[in-house]
Structure 1
Amino acid sequence: MQDNFDSIISRNTLFWLLVTNATILFPLYSNATIWSIGICAICFVWRVGIYYGKVSAPPKLLVTTLALASAGTLSLVASQIGTLNALVNLLLLGYALKYIEMRQQRDVKVVVLVGYFLIAFAMLDNQSMLNTGGLLIVTAINTCVLISVYQDQAKRKANFSFAAKLVLQSLPLAILLFVVFPRLGPLWLSPNMRTAQTGLSNELSFGDISQLTRSDKLAFRVSFEADSAIRTLPNEALYWRTLVMEDYDGSTWRQHPSILQLQQRAFRQKPRRDLPSDSEPKWSYTIISEASHKKWMYGLDQAFSQESYIYELPDFRLFSIRPIDQRLSYRVQSYPNSVLDTQLSPEIRKINLSLPEDINPESRALAEQFVRSHPKPLDRAYAMMNYFTEQPFFYTLKPPRLGSEQIDDFLFENRAGFCAHYASAFVFLARQSGIPARLVSGYQGGEYNAKANYYSVYQYMAHAWTELWIEGKGWQRFDPTAMIAPERILDGFDATFDSQSSYLEFNNFSPLRMKQYPWLNEIHQQIASLDFYWSVWVLGFDEGRKQQLLEDILGNTNTTRIIIFMLVSLSLIGLMIAYYAGVFTRHSTPDVLVKYYNRICQRIAKIGVKRDKGQTTADFTHTVTQALQVSHPELVRQFTDFSNTFEALKYQPMTELERKQRLTHYRRLYLRLRFQSI
């Protein structure tokens, strides 16, 4: 069909444009500024008015002025919202403004093309299974606009059905390209489209982690691999190391400046640690991290990763060269029995013994008592741990406020706090007593999904613990929380605190509420398992998984086999599309009206009246009337009515209701003529 670019837009196309506009803009609302949303809403309402004939299209000068003003404003705020967000907003505004000023079919095609770009942006921003399915539907709706341009008389249901078929027919080719084409590093696929950050921070004050216990957001999921030494671990072994805090100013813990500088140079220096001996036990697992928009990653001690974008820092953390701006899957190997730093450099020792001067005098005096009563560092550490059980300390999510002498107030006045309180006090006592110590923040525990064999770690599982350096043993984990609330470490967060007063208190629609209802929780677990598999096999489909899949299909993979595989697959896909397009259909299926008419003509031929080839319906009716009027008058009457109804249905314009009534009458006449005796 030849394009007529100057044709007026049909009403059917205008309808699909309204639907498409709403469905395309909705997934990107979180990336749009308030005034961009306002302009898009005004354009949509204006277009609705045009559709119902209440208003006319705006003058082009007005649209051009709005476009220039929008571009200028975006250039001024680009540094605040991010360059990519500014470009997305510019594209949204261009889409909306073009949407209200279009007058001809050439304009429709421009709007549809921009719509596909916006769908791609939405896909980059959120690649979850639910969002991907929704965007496929949006793609089909956007395609309906193009189809309606060429099939403006077709029903809307037929437009959408055709568009859905086109999208479904394109999926095999998309899957083939997804499997065969080289994989780019996942961090390079999606630039930063948002600036909001979630989860742990590189600064830790006493109340920070308790605030995270109000969040039901998923932090990451973990699946131990089949060839790993274990598939599940007890809760007390699940210490997910994230950040190490060594700098303390009396109120806030921070990463030391030397580590921050190393993180900034990581892209150039690519820090790596030496792998432990192969004879040591090793845990292999895959972590699927949710978007945190930060660079730190998660792992059990001692964690290593061979991913090109992950570096291993000397404080035994994993670090990404770019913020995690989308869901990300990466593989980790942990050596739980390896020693962390058998030797401690003078610089690191000094860092982990330093304390601000002239603060917390009572805590300093207590530390000196421990030195006198327990000269050996390890004995002293255990004695300080026991101190929390010997004194009336209390573990709570809502501790009382502390004064300027935070450690003194906590140890000798309030004696009530969360994990950060106990970890901070323990590190202060250890450093004052001469033992190098530091604070580690991360997550502790995990919710196991037995259906898909993975752990879910939520933000409310955030935790802080300590590490002390002991001669001959290296850095050793000491968790004072285990002394005050052992059930928190052994059985998890939910065994210690009421979910209704913590992470569900302000989350009325959280899916975690389904835990209270077994059958709803079963459904939630099934959906979560599907989403997990999507994350592993689609979002986590890296070069390693691609190579494994191709080897399962082709055996030994080489360039020749891959090319042959692609050619065969493309041929099969082409044949499938050709089949559905009707290329291989030799004879078109006859019209049901014609089929019924021919059957009755064949019956009449049995009594001696045959229809000549090429004879019109009216001529044959006249022939039947002359031949059978005397011998079969009732047959002639019914056949005449049958022929007239056939001609009306085939050639006369009529309303939908009239056509439905005529078609019913035609079928009744057919049944009478088909089965009555002649």
Structure 2
Amino acid sequence: MQRSVLSQSWRQRLQPRSLPPEDSRALRLGVQILVCVGILATDSATGSWHSLWAIPLSLMGAAWSWRQRHRRNIAAKCGIAIGMILVLVVFLNRLAGQAGDSRILLTELLIQVQILHAFDLPRRKDLGYSAVIGIILVGVAATVSETMVFGGWLLLFLACALPVLILDYRSRLGLKLLKRRSVSLPPAQIGRMLVAVVTVGLVIFALLPRLPGYQLRTLPVSAAIDIPGKFDAQQIVNPGYGQGDSATWDGTGQDGEDLEGEIIFDDQFYYGFSQRINQNLRGVLKPEIVMRVRSQAPGFWRVLAFDEYTGQGWQMSRNDKSETLNRPAWSYRFVVPQLGQRGRTKEVIQTYSIVSRFPNLIPALSQAREIYFPTREIARDPEGGFRSPVQLQDGLTYSVISDVPYRDRKQLRKASRQYPQFIRQHYLQIPDGIASQIKEQTEALLEKANRPPISAYEKALYLAQSLKQTYSLQPDLPVLEAEEDLVSAFLFKYQGGYPDHFSTALTMMLRSIGIPARLVMGFAPGEFNAFTGLYEVKNVDAFAMAEVYIPQFGWFTFDPIPGHDLVPPSVDDDYTFSVLKTLWNWVAGWLPSPMMNGLTAIFAMIGAGLAQALGFFTGGWQGWMAGLLVLSGIAVLGWLAPQGWQWWRYRRRLATLPPMEKLYQRMLHVLANRGVPKRPHETPFEYTHRLHQKGEGAIADLVTEISQIYVSWRYGHQPYDLSDVHLRFQALREKLRSQ
């Protein structure tokens, strides 16, 4: 008797005390689809497709748990627990051996946990856990993805999530069967709900401020790269030069051996990334994406600089003094020695993802403080450029933290003209044969100013602007003679040249009047993708600028190329609402100028108000919560109010019109909803003519007939048969429905 009581007590303890098993096969299948979409999204974002094996295993586990849902499955639960411990041990072991970004490892751990969890899904709340895992996987894919492909996976996930939520709600209400008179899953209703959610999400996405991120210092970086042999810090390898990966600009290999054949311009690789460059090369690059950059602020992605002018190009005179930087074995973090400067700076964090083969040079914003790179060593040259032991290949990712200086013109105007000895020694070099001519031309340009600039910074600004206005781009510039000087030919013979020739001319003009300058090569910010949050940088974005030294403040760039901004994007600009600005610039391109100017003024006032509100909403966690609630409410009202207002005005306007006018306006409304609206400046017959040109056929004929009756009534005061016009209008609507 006592044994039976004890066994009964143990059986009661082993019985589940929570919710009963979930019997809805549709709900179980929907949850598994969410998980599968999450796995596919992460694999698509990383480009690895290493987790596809998890999809059939997860489905098998779901099918097994469906069959076993009414059993206790004690042995299976023990096996699952052991499996959980094993995958955790494997994860910790892999994490200890990887010093950089651990997002992918965490994702793989989550997928492995989901496979084990799929074999134990008896209750509804366990299905909720799996759905949350799917959401997390999609979120990870969002942080890793660099293309618009993720948008497709997100829409698919949302389309699957809506019916899953409805099925979950039905299950909670106890609705076991899909009855006609009960809650159902009509595709049209789900479609409208999907469109509404996407619209509200896009509005919130556009309005949310783009605040600095990456507060944690475990920044994205590729897996470690082991380099055999000794790292040569002086070597620059540009695959676009010479006959092979080891060739340099002048046709010599790594060890200096001669390579046969003439150097040919490569239309994929920018010529300016080497320790010596020849600006007498001619050619046009074929546009190709080089890298994608996630940055808190745009800027000039600096690659390298030159200090010695050779007559038709540039070279690094102190390349042999490049220094090697090392990182600890447990971290990818390289600490870059800094020079003391008194100017105000702003920390900007960048993550670079290489898309195509690139030289062994490491782009970064100016004044890089920390670099997270997967090799054990990197090098820094005397001009502030960084080099890798290997070429940067497709898929490589690294991060940089820079202290970018502000361009405070008031302080820069007051800067001293006392340059250190090493600055005067290396950045005032100019060939004797052209020094006097260049100086004379430079002073002549400065004398044209209404108020001649005094400080070095103002002179650089004025000369850069003068070159833009005085000289022109020469795309068909002939090749210079062997002894011909590039700057002299630019200023006095051709009155212009290639884009990079402008920067060379500005650099030498500044040197001629005693202002230290050098030529710097890099990339423009590129095209910002508002949806991915990345700057897409192409090889055609590479160009040269003049970099001027301001005592105690450091180096500042100036761009004399026509069509470019005088200075590159600066941290002085506010990028809090950069996504909204990008969308507005795109929309403004389609608007007439008066309307655009008016809206710009209105948005400027709104922006000032938003800036004040942002100060309140970011004052603490209460402000953050209030801000999110306000933005959500504005998004919902912004979606509902315009639709209701337009519908109300439309119905009110129709009620005041004569019968023929009302019918004609209804026809225009129907056609506008179909995607062929009548433009405001078009007459009725111009509109029907455009419909015929678009190949609308029978629809255009019916519109023409109704328009002829309307014009005869409106302008000729001719009588009409309203019932006949109604029949034609109904025929038009039926034609539109059939299509």
TM over 0.5: no
TM-score range for the pair, normalised by the shorter chain length = 0.3 to 0.5
Structure number with higher helix proportion: 1
Structure 2 length-normalised TM: 0.38
Q: Which has the larger radius of gyration?
A: 1
Structure 1 length-normalised TM: 0.41
